[in-house]
Amino acid sequence: MKILYWLLGIVLGIPVLLIGTIYGASELAGEVVTLARAESNGEVSQVRVWIVDQSGLSWIEHGEAGSFWITQLSESPNVVLSRAGRDTHYAGTADRESHDLYHQLRREKYGMGDQILELLGAPGVDECDGVPVRLQLTD
C-alpha cells in the first residue's frame, strides 16, 4: 500500500511541479503586462505577456502571422496593455523583422525565466513562429 501512495504522489506531483515551474518562470521572471487582445468573435481576452523595450519602442509577442489579433492590427492598430498598474495605449504594428531583436531583448530582460521556459519546451528563437508586435506610445 505504501508503494501505491508513493506512485500516486509521483504521478500527481510531477504535473503540479511542472505547471508550477512554468507559472513561476513566466510570472516571476520580471515584468509581465496584460494585453487586451481582440478576438474574432468580438470579445476581448486578457492575456499575460512579457514586454521588452529599446529606444522608446516596446515589443510583445503573442500570436502567429495568421492569428486574428495580429492581422487586425493593420485595420485597428490600437493596443491596450495594463502596465505598472495602469492602462497604457499603444499603436501596434506586426514587426517580423524584429524577431531576433525581440528574442535577444527578452533573453536579456527575463534571463533565467526565459531559459527555463525554453528548456520546458517553449520554442527558442530558431523554432519560434510568433510575430513580434512593435508598440509606440500614443498617450
Give the pLDDT of the chain (139 residues) as one tens digit per residue: 788 878 877 877 777 766 665 555 556 567 889 999 888 898 889 999 989 999 989 999 888 888 899 999 988 899 999 988 899 999 999 999 999 999 999 899 988 878 777 877 677 767 788 899 999 998 6
CA distances in angstroms from 126 to 75, 88, 96, listed in the order given: 29, 31, 13
Measured CA to CA, the distance from residue 113 to residue 102 in angstroms comes to 15
- Give the residue numbers spanning the domain of 60: 2-137
- CA-nearest of 47, 125, 41 to 79 is 47
The pLDDT of residue 3? 84
CATH assignment of the domain containing 63: 2.30.110.10
Measured CA to CA, the distance from residue 122 to residue 139 in angstroms comes to 33
The pLDDT of residue 78? 92
The pLDDT of residue 63? 82
The pLDDT of residue 20? 61
SS3 (DSSP) at 29: coil
Q: E-assigned strands of 3-129?
A: 32-38, 44-50, 52-54, 57-64, 78-83, 86-94
Cell of 124: 527558442
Domain count for the chain, please give it. 1
Can you give the pTM of this predicted structure?
A: 0.80
The pLDDT of residue 113? 79
